[in-house]
């Protein structure tokens, strides 16, 4: 694979539609943004998460099933 240069990238995107360029611009912004997200849970949130450990497996729903239901519900 050849090296990617600014010139080769510019040439590749020369005739790209604006919609593609906007997506690439947003993607580049996200990649270049150097922020670490640090989350702090409240005590109530911690207790809620710990209680989930006591739920029997037969009461759990597979993630894929939830994902499919949400896709269907929101027409994604």
Length of the chain: 76
Domain boundaries, the chain: 1-76
* Tens-level pLDDT at each residue, the chain (76 residues): 678 899 999 999 999 999 999 999 999 888 888 666 677 889 999 999 888 888 888 888 889 999 999 999 998 8
Q: pLDDT for 20-36, tens place per residue?
A: 999 999 998 888 886 66
| The overall pTM is greater than 0.75 | no
Return the ∠ at Cα 38 (arms to 53 and 25), rounded to 5°: 115
- Find how far residue 28's CA is from the centre of its chain: 15
């Amino acid at each position: 694979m050849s090296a990617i240069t600014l010139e080769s990238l510019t040439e590749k995107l020369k005739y790209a539609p604006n919609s593609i360029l906007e997506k690439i611009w947003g993607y580049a912004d996200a990649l270049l943004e150097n922020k670490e997200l640090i989350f702090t849970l409240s005590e109530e949130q911690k207790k809620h998460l710990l209680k989930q450990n006591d739920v029997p497996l037969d009461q759990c729903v597979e993630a894929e099933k939830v994902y499919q239901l949400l896709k269907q519900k929101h027409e994604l």
